[in-house]
Amino acid sequence: MSHDHASQHRLSLEDPEKFWAEPAAEIHWDHPYSRVLEKTDGAPGYRWFPGGRLNTCYNALDRHVEAGHGERAALIYDSAVTGVKKTYSYAELTREVATFAGVLAELGVVAGDRVVLYLPMVPEAVVAMLACARLGAVHSVVFGGFAAKELAARIDDAEPKLVLSASCGIEGSRVVEYGPLLRSALELAAHPPEACVVLQRPEAPLELRDGEHDWRELVARAEPRGPVSVESGDPLYILYTSGTTGRPKGVVRDHGGHAVALRWTMEAVYGVRPGDVYWAASDVGWVVGHSYIVYGPLLAGLTTVLYEGKPVGTPDAGAFWRVIEEHGVNVLFTAPTAFRAIKKEDPEGRLLAGYDLSHFRTLFLAGERCDPDTLAWAGELLDVPVIDHWWQTETGWPIASNCLGLEALPVKAGSAAKAVPGWDLQVLDAEGQPAAADEIGALAVKLPLPPGTFPTLWRDPERFVASYLTEFPGYYQTADAGYLDRDGYVFVMARTDDIINVAGHRLSTGAMEEAVASHPDVAECAVTGVADALKGQVPLGFLVLKAGVERDHGEIVREVILSVRGRVGPVASFKKALVVERLPKTRSGKILRRTLRAMADGDVWTAPATIDDPAILEEIAAVLAAS
């Protein structure tokens, strides 16, 4: 069987057991699974690798040491905000993790217990995640500095035995003290943990109280623990989806399918091999951090980079180039918003001069749709392939991508290329029927989902079915809208609730944003539908201009309106756009379009828990009031 993209995708759908048996053989199983894929009665109707037993931490660490690769660099920590840099070999990281597993065990943690991590981007966060996996405990990482109410909601849902935290995090130039947030959350929580372990950082130490233990003191007297064998279907972690309201949705990831799929994607999708240096410029609080800072690279024997800093401001828009040069990064994965921020601050890319990026091979982008202008700008600047790919917290790894380890497909700007092997991706109309090529509809995946995806929501199987499996029976509803072209390339245009209805015409805000972003003075933008008495909805644009642009804003807006009219057509009725300093985003870089829409419509709105900087909303409110 050929290993080109088309034949591998076809095999994965026609004979998934045969397809996934090969990558499963690359994982160490303490006890073999009875079969690759088994049908079940309850939702989702299948399970992967039943009967198999393994330990994810052993597969990520000990296995490489035992194979003679203990001296290979496993983790490079680079803190642009403190100046601290440290490299851990596989042998060193294994010792650190085994010792911290001893800390957890001494505090009573056993397989199946939950542990909440509320930590910044420090090596201890990676160590703690892997130590939980080593014991078979279930970790739930909550983004460090998250609001107390949101942290309390996640504690109550997971009911952890322990919370692991730090005295502070550092966001750009701002020190965020975690102690008051953590203590407030524990007062709000109905199910507080038995104890907290606190990593003291010199920027803002915390005076500990009863029930709070000093991280380093516990490590100093801990005895290392070995890996605990768990069932393939046992939960590895819970990760709460961002932007939730009410009770958060806890996405569950299991051990067996996760280890098989994540290791496979490193080679098949990202085109990296053991010893390569891979950098996912994200946060361990998000799914990208789980999959591609911690588990994926280590399962595949790579060197992974943990970066504490921003793409701009720590110290400037050349920060990424420094990290790539200094640590020999071969592949970078980040969000399009990071490159839009760099482009805004340094439109000509002058800060790249003087850095040696000759070893750098590929840039992967995901998290938000990448507009063609940003894709082209990054490609011209770096002179490497720029790959836009698409996936979600729920899926755990890419649904659609150019799979560099199988076959480098031609790039189509605006497209996340084709469905990755394992994914039966379809476009469905409102009646659940397949849409024609180039016709926008709901992006849905025919079941079964491949291994490494989510089998359920934590303690809420009914909500799992209602949220994801009900609208289109037999399919996973992604809640993203888009189309497949005649070559099978997927274009993810918007969330389904960002498709606006203008006088009976269903239009994609993503297509309008693409037209707006093509203007030479625009650094980034958002388009949302606002209520209109005559047409139901009309689009409203928000523009952020590049640094140094001094032209009349009204003139730029008029040019943008003409661009949308020319590319999308008069039917879009795009007649208004506002220039703003910044766009409101989540900490993972997603633009808060729903909040912008509520503000523009004059509806009641609150700052979402996931917002990076709430002050931006007040700035935009003032611009809307003045318009």
pLDDT, residue 242, reads: 55
pLDDT, residue 612, reads: 81
Spell 537-570 as b/e; 16+ CB within 10 A means b.
bbbbbbbbbbeeeeeeeeebbeebbebbbeebee
Task: Read off the amino acid at residue 598.
Answer: A
- Please name the residue that has the structure tokens 């985003």: 585
Mean pLDDT for 436-460 is 96
Torsion of CA 231, 138, 48, 433, to 10 degrees: 160
Mean pLDDT for 386-405 is 96
What tens digit of pLDDT does each residue of 3-28 get? 799 999 999 999 999 999 999 999 99
The separation between CA 41 and the C-alpha centre of its own chain, rounded to angstroms, equals: 31
Q: Is 253 helix (H, G, I), strand (E, B) or coil?
A: strand
Token pair of 197, please?
């372990």
pLDDT, residue 245, reads: 46
pLDDT, residue 187, reads: 96
From CA 393, how far away is CA 138, in angstroms rounded?
17
pLDDT, residue 608, reads: 79
Torsion of CA 595, 341, 293, 413, to 10 degrees: 90
pLDDT, residue 409, reads: 94
End-to-end CA distance of the chain: 61
Mean pLDDT for 153-168 is 96
Mean pLDDT for 330-344 is 93
What tens digit of pLDDT does each residue of 204-216 get? 999 999 999 999 9
Residue (of 70, 103, 198, 108) closest to 144 by Cα position: 198
Task: Read off the amino acid at residue 227.
Answer: P
Tell me the DSSP string of 145-206: T--HHHHHHHHHHH--SEEEEESEEEETTEEEE-HHHHHHHHHH-SS--SEEEEE--TTS--
From CA 477, how far away is CA 467, in angstroms rounded?
8
Beta carbons within 10 angstroms of residue 295's beta carbon: 30
CA atoms within 13 A on the CB side of 349: 15
CA distances from 283 to 11, 286, 531, 617 (A): 34, 6, 36, 23
pLDDT, residue 246, reads: 57
**Residue 243 pLDDT exceeds 50:** no
> Which 3-state string (H, E, C) describes 472-501?
CCCEEEEEEEEEECCCCCEEEEEEHHHEEE
Highest mean pLDDT among 70-74, 565-569, 593-597: 70-74
The H or E element spanning position 254 is strand 250-254
The H or E element spanning position 553 is helix 553-567
Average pLDDT of the chain is: 93
Q: Which of 193-202, 210-219, 383-392, 566-575 has the lowest mean pLDDT?
A: 566-575
**Residue 90 pLDDT exceeds 90:** yes
Beta carbons within 10 angstroms of residue 574's beta carbon: 26
- The percent of residues above 90 in pLDDT, for the chain, comes to 77
Mean pLDDT for 34-51 is 96
**Residue 244 pLDDT exceeds 70:** no
Mean pLDDT for 527-533 is 85
What tens digit of pLDDT does each residue of 463-478 get? 999 999 999 999 999 9
What tens digit of pLDDT does each residue of 257-312 get? 999 999 999 999 999 999 999 999 999 999 999 999 999 999 999 999 999 999 99
Range list of H helices, 290-390:
296-299, 319-327, 336-345, 372-382
**Residue 189 pLDDT exceeds 70:** yes
pLDDT, residue 537, reads: 82
Token pair of 122, please?
């420090």
Instruction: Name residues whose C-beta falls within 8 Å of residue 418's C-beta, 6 or more positions apart in sequence.
Output: 5, 9, 400, 401, 402, 409, 488, 489, 490
Identify which has the larger pLDDT, 512 or 228.
228
Strands annotated E in 51-182: 53-54, 73-79, 85-89, 114-118, 138-141, 162-166, 168-171, 174-177
Identify which has the larger pLDDT, 567 or 121.
121
CA distances from 219 to 44, 124, 197, 251, 541 (A): 41, 11, 11, 30, 53
Mean pLDDT for 370-382 is 92
Asked if residue 44 has a cis previous peptide bond (ω within 30° of 0), the answer is: yes
Instruction: Name residues whose C-beta falls within 8 Å of residue 224's C-beta, 6 or more positions apart in sequence.
Output: 95, 98, 99, 101, 102
Torsion of CA 95, 97, 102, 106, to 10 degrees: 160
pLDDT tier for residue 506 given thresholds of 50, 70 and 90: low
Mean pLDDT for 350-371 is 92
pLDDT, residue 594, reads: 83
Mean pLDDT for 300-329 is 97
